[in-house]
Amino acid sequence: LGHWLGTVNTDWNNASNWPCGVIPTGTDNVVIAGSLPFYPVISTGTSSVNNLIIQSGASLTVNNMLQLAGTINNSGIFDVNNGTIELNGTSIQTVPAAAFAGNKIKNLIISNDVTLAGQDSMTNVLSFGAVDNKTFSTGGYLTLKSTAAGTAIVADLTNSDVNSGNQVLGDVTAERYLSSIKKWRFLTVPTNS
């Protein structure tokens, strides 16, 4: 069911690109093989998968949102430079080293206990979903990037006015872009609330 055919176009949400004309859901394992006419792009809506396998020579581009409940096995290109990944499994999930193209991800939503196993850079927002008592273990591999266009942040870790017990464990490198113009600058921790 979850083998991308890519015979029509790059639209993930076009049922004709999937076996039996069925777009995968959060319980389906998805395999994207190499040597296909078109590779998927998620540009609209929220797409969901269980395990994701991107084989050598293949690619997946996420420009909107992809929910992952299982594992990431990437031997190709997994481009989330302009998209959002939500990790929402029921058992601990690990983001493997070199999972994302250029080790960059725009937005990451933690809705499960997650461990980072290799260097990754956030360019926008790291946040927690509508969950309580979840942990994101960085292993010291996370960098919050900062450029002239903007600075990545860690959003409020709670989902309401009370502390929900969500936490980021491990060192996080926070960059702060400074223009070459000489002037006074105040630096703060890149978090909301």
Q: Which stretch of DSSP H or E encloses residue 109?
A: strand 104-110
Structure tokens at 22: 């069925």
Q: What is the amino acid identity at position 116?
A: L
The DSSP string of 81-104 is EEEEEEE--SS-EEE-TT-SGGGE
Return mean pLDDT, the chain.
92
Query: 43-56: per-residue pLDDT in tens?
Result: 999 999 999 999 99
Whether residue 190 has pLDDT greater than 90: no
- CA gap 148, 63 in Å, rounded: 21
Which of the pair, 92 or 191, is modelled with greater confidence?
92
Q: pTM for this one? A: 0.90
The pLDDT value given to residue 167: 92
pLDDT in tens, 80-134: 999 999 999 999 999 999 999 999 999 999 999 999 999 999 999 999 998 889 9
Say how far apart CA 52 and CA 155 lie, in whole Å.
Answer: 26
Could you give the CA distance from residue 171 to residue 169 in angstroms, rounded to a whole number? 7
**The pLDDT value given to residue 165:** 87
Q: DSSP letter for 156, please.
A: P
